Amino acid sequence: MDIYLMRHRRTNYNDLGLCNYDPNRDVHLTKVGIEQEQEQAHSAALTLRHVAFERIVVSPLTRT
């Protein structure tokens, strides 16, 4: 079984030097983080285009 992990990119908490341990607090991406996400999504689409996924698991946090 292969497992692929992807993380969110730069958030407002990164810019403030903070960590978020509260699952009820939704930390948002910065403008730079959104640009990084777009690059990451494009790269992942090219790299994983032939992978037949059985399951995709995501966080309920929006990160937008």
Residue in the block written with tokens 């790269």: 43
pLDDT of residue 60: 82
Mean pLDDT of the chain: 89
pLDDT tens-place string over residues 4-53: 999 888 998 888 898 888 878 888 899 999 999 999 999 999 999 999 99
Residue, of 62 and 57, whose pLDDT is higher: 57
Query: Whole-prediction pTM value?
Result: 0.72
- Beta-carbon contacts of 32 under 8 Å, excluding residues fewer than 6 positions away, are 9, 10
pLDDT tens-place string over residues 24-38: 888 889 999 999 999
Four-CA torsion 5, 12, 18, 63, nearest 10 degrees: -40
